[in-house]
Every structure is written in C-alpha cells, then in structure tokens.
Amino acid sequence: MKKIGLTGGIASGKSTISHWLVQHGYPVIDADKISREIVAPGEPALAKIAEQFGKTMILPTGELDRKKLGALVFQDTRKRRQLDELLHPIIRYRMNEALNQLEEQGVQAAFLDIPLLYENGLETWVDQTLVVAVSEENQLRRLMTRNKLTEDQARARIASQIPLLDKVKRADAVIDNNGSIEESEAQLRCFLSRWSFLNQT
C-alpha cells in the first residue's frame, strides 16, 4: 500500500485539503482527529494530562481545556516536550492500527494527515510527501483570526514548528494555498492525476 504524507504549517490550510480528499473517497488517517479521540473523557491519556499538568486542565464537563493547555505548552518548550512524550506514542499506535486495517481491506493508497510529520521524523513512514504552504504573512494572519490569538501568541505557535519553507524544500509536491480554495483543489487534482495509482475519483 502506498502511503502519502500530508502536512504543512499551522494555519496553512492543510485541513481543507484533507477534507477534500475525504469527500472524494480517499482514505485519510488524521493524526489530529486521533489526538482528540485519545484525550476524550474516560481515556487514560486525559487522566495523565491532569496528573502532569494539573487538574485545572480539565473543564467542569470532564473535557480537556484545550485552550488552557495550548497556552501553557506553546510558551514552555519543556512542558510541550512532556506533552509530546505522553501523547505521541499513543497516536502512532492508533495510526498503525488504522493503516493495518486499510491494508487488510486491500486499499492501494492512503493519506496520512500529520501536522508534525517532519518535526517527529515520520517522513520515514510514507512513500511521498505533500506539503500545503502559504506565505508567512498569510499564515500569521490566518492563525490570529482562526484561534483569536495575539501576534506574539501566534508567532510562538508558528515558531514551535519547522519553518514552512524548510518543509517545502523537503516535499515531493507542494500546494500553494495563498489563493482560492478552487485554485488549491486544482493543484491537488493535478498531483492526483500525476500519481496515477491514486486515481480513485
């Protein structure tokens, strides 16, 4: 089974591309979705987060206070590393399970939607990489708008990742997402056509 890594920078528009792929019948294993599932109420990882970072990270509803945890770890490299060490092994295990299921179903190709593909050395998991990229200005503006962050907060989150330009240099293919959604989709269709083994639409 061919595996294509889909990645980008925070607020680069990767989720839009991932959503298009799902809508058009391509198998997508979404690391972000898995990361949300493993911290749902009742999951062991949620209890470990409360133990390591304090019970104030849990809302009265029993759910994770993502905003509070994000504010903490994106300002403290050590705490972010602690959180990664806690969650990443579980996420990788779940992703492997999903890959095995797809392989058993005879799927010929699948996308792995992994925001931190390069940061975590997971490019070794895939046969090809597709990076969704935007300008630094657009990335900052979109992140501030989407997450209601100050400029300093947004820059801290961007700085926690490998620079987007570096990811572009390492990619097998790049979608320039500075334009319209239609323009980005056209680029994606071009790559899917070029990678003929993915011609499932």
Q: Give one DSSP letter per residue of 157-191, joined into a string.
A: HHHTS--HHHHHHH-SEEEE-SS-HHHHHHHHHHH
Regions of the chain with pLDDT less than 50: 199-201
CA dist 8 to 31, 50, 161, 175, Å? 13, 30, 10, 9
Q: Which residues are annotated as a binding site?
A: 11-16
Q: Where are the domains of the chain?
A: 1-27+109-196, 38-106
Per CATH, the number for 1-27+109-196 is: 3.40.50.300
Provide the sign of the torsion angle of the four alpha carbons 134, 123, 105, 192, taken in this order: positive
| pLDDT score recorded for residue 198 | 54
Task: Name the residue among 102, 131, 100 with its Cα closest to residue 4.
Answer: 131
Is the distance from CB of 31 to CB of 92 less than 8 angstroms?
no
| pLDDT score recorded for residue 196 | 66
Neighbours of 85 (CB within 10 A): 10
Q: Which residues are annotated as a binding site for ATP?
A: 11-16
pLDDT in tens, 66-117: 999 998 998 898 999 999 999 999 999 999 999 999 999 999 899 999 999 9
Predicted TM-score of the model (pTM): 0.90
| pLDDT score recorded for residue 194 | 84
| pLDDT score recorded for residue 9 | 95
Contacts of 130 (CB under 8 A, 6+ apart): 4, 5, 6, 7, 17, 111, 171, 172, 173, 174, 175, 191
| pLDDT score recorded for residue 201 | 42
